[in-house]
């Protein structure tokens, strides 16, 4: 522990932002420096990472998507992190936007997941653009949902656009689509 650098402890939501890659450069640098010197915040960061175990990330045109669990979202809400949530019906679409006060944006994709053992995801911003794949993402078969969290900092910079997501179940036979979703994002 370094007694010289007494910057204030990192809040739970700033640790989540840091871990999700949401912090701007200044905040990320400050967190890096603080974490080097502070065991207590290091332990809190471990807790954030453990909560989000099995998280997978994808990059679409510089936009980072993270797949998280319902338990993780519940924990964020408990900690008063401001979570904007969109429920997307099976094979449906939703209009979405980001407000300045939002800490995290979450999309809950409704999907028939019973008996499914592995889910892959294909994401595209425009159909001409090709799809970006994420393999073996976390999902909740009982709740029948997949939870996606796009990076807010990047999303705030994006113009109005559509994002397409396809969920595919994988088994010994190969892959088949179990749902598709569209986010109509308004800048
Ligand atoms: Zn600290």
Q: How far apart are CA 184 and CA 125, in angstroms?
A: 10
**Pairing between β-strand 145-150 and β-strand 104-110 as defined by DSSP bridges:** antiparallel
Task: Check: CB of residue 82 under 8 Å from CB of residue 149.
Answer: no
Same domain, 59 and 86: yes
- Give me ligand 1 centre to Cα 78, in Å: 20
- Give me ligand 1 centre to Cα 40, in Å: 5
User: In Å, how far are 1, 103, 169 from 14, measured between CA atoms?
Assistant: 21, 9, 34
Alpha-helix runs per DSSP H in 52-182: 70-78, 152-157
Same domain, 76 and 141: yes
Same domain, 36 and 109: no
- Give me ligand 1 centre to Cα 153, in Å: 24
- Give me ligand 1 centre to Cα 21, in Å: 19
Query: In this predicted structure, what is the pLDDT of residue 121?
Result: 94
Question: What domain count does the chain have?
Answer: 2
Query: In this predicted structure, what is the pLDDT of residue 169?
Result: 96
Query: In this predicted structure, what is the pLDDT of residue 180?
Result: 97
- Around ion ligand 1, which residues have CB less than 5 A away? 9, 38, 40-41
Rounded to a whole number, what is the largest CA-CA distance in the chain?
A: 60
Q: How far apart are CA 63 and CA 103, in angstroms?
A: 16
- Give me ligand 1 centre to Cα 19, in Å: 15
* Other Cβ atoms closer than 10 A to 54: 12
pLDDT values of the chain reduced to their tens digit, one per residue, 187 residues:
444 456 789 988 888 888 877 788 898 999 999 999 999 999 998 888 887 777 787 877 777 888 888 888 888 888 888 899 999 999 999 999 988 888 889 999 999 999 999 999 999 886 667 888 888 998 999 999 999 998 887 888 888 989 999 999 998 788 999 999 999 999 8
The pTM score is 0.82
Same domain, 152 and 95: yes
DSSP classification of residue 20: H
Residue at 177 is within a domain? yes
In the sheet that holds 63-68, the strands lie side by side as: 56-60, 63-68, 145-150, 104-110, 83-88
Same domain, 46 and 118: no
Same domain, 42 and 132: no
Same domain, 18 and 38: yes
- Give me ligand 1 centre to Cα 24, in Å: 19
């Amino acid at each position: 522990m370094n007694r010289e650098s007494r910057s204030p402890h990192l809040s739970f939501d700033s640790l989540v932002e840091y871990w999700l890659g949401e912090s701007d450069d200044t905040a990320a640098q400050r967190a890096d420096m603080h974490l080097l010197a502070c065991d207590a915040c290091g332990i809190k960061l471990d807790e954030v990472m453990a909560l989000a175990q099995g998280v997978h990330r994808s990059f679409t045109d510089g936009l980072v998507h993270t797949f998280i669990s319902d338990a993780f979202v519940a924990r964020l809400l408990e900690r008063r992190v401001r979570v904007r949530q969109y429920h997307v019906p099976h094979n449906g679409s939703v209009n979405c936007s980001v407000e300045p006060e939002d800490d995290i944006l979450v999309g809950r994709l409704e999907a028939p997941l019973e008996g499914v053992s592995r889910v892959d995801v294909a994401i595209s911003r425009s159909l001409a653009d090709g799809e970006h794949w994420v393999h073996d993402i976390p999902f909740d078969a009982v709740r029948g949902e997949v939870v996606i969290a796009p990076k807010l900092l990047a999303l705030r910079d994006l113009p109005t656009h559509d994002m397409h997501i396809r969920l595919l179940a994988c088994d010994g036979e190969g892959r088949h689509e179990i749902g598709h979703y569209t986010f109509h994002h308004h800048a």
